[in-house]
Amino acid sequence: MVAMPVFATEPYSAPTWLPGGNLQTLYTAAFLRGPDITYRRERWEWPDGDFIDADWVDAEQDNAPIVVLFHGLEGSSQSFYARDLMDVVKQKGWRGVVPHFRGCSGEPNRLPRAYFAGDVAEIDAMLKHVKAEYPNAPIYAVGVSLGGNALLKWLGDTGEHAGELVKAAVGVSAPLDMNAAGHALDGGFNRATYTARFLATLKKKALEKAKRFPGALDADAIAAATTFQEFDTLVTAHLHGYKDAEDYWTRTSSKQGLKNIAIPTLVINAKNDPFLPASALPAQQDVSSSVTLEQPDEGGHVAFPSGPFPGNIDWLPQRILGFITSGQ
């Protein structure tokens, strides 16, 4: 196991003017947009005939360290957390890249398959592509929300071999227990607020796939779906070889693999994250010695706002960079 580094930033402290997980999550997503970033887009052609669009921020030095960011569900390089992190990466003189999961770059992908929580093969292929392009550059991986779960699952499944590609990793607000997260999002306020918003765009994409691939999906049932459990059974599980949503959630959860992670990894989850109950969070005995759990009482889901009104989102990228640079 690799020795854990010493960290460089202070623990998260929520602003008094923005209390509670829902307010912190919704306000941050709606009003703290992050800086404008000029990306350079590459298209990676995949062996299965599909493609990945990757957005880069470049550096002057060929061997500058690279931060690879795996975005969340319905996220992209334009998500506020991506823009904020890539801005800090660029200021540091490093490279950054946001590879878009299939169907998330603004153009439909060519195959029925899509972005899902346990796509470790996609994580592996993306990291190997970056490594092949910059073989002498240190690579760090960051996964946010669903992308965080996929990254952490890859780290657990890959074990010590992950170190051949990545020096250190960070998972932010990952739904480590997908069953707990799925049921939390399908109830009450969460269902009316977060799930309804996600399903509006997810169902649109799925219905487009149903038209392009006749017989692959049940369009009428998808159109009527109102929960993640229904959608993941009809679409995600159906397209990716799982029996139903419960089977998909169980088999793709990263929590059970955290004991197998062998590179320095920081896992950040706020206890008031509306997407994942605090009772589902792992304890230190549930993870390997290479994993540091950071579970502040507040912060919401991929939010962690700070400062006086109207606030900023500076804490998270500083925390991420503080962790990965302290190991150098």
Task: Please give the positions annotated as active site.
Answer: 145, 273, 301
And the tokens for 146?
């669903």
Query: Which residue in 284, 275, 261 sits closest to 24, CA to CA?
Result: 275
The C-alpha torsion from 307 through 304 and 297 to 270, rounded to 10°, is 180
How far apart, in Å, are the Cα atoms of 133 and each of 168, 229, 268? 19, 39, 29
> Could you tell me the two tokens for 207?
């219905």
Give the whole-angstrom CA distance, residue 300 versus residue 269.
8
Tokens representing 214 are 């006749």
| Pairing outcome for strands 40-45 and 291-294 | unpaired
Instruction: List strands edge to edge, sheet with 168-172.
Output: 40-45, 51-57, 95-99, 66-70, 139-144, 168-172, 265-268, 291-294
DSSP 197-259: HHHHHHHHHHHHHHHHSTTSS-HHHHHH--SHHHHIIIIIHHHHT-SSHHHHHHHH-SGGGGG
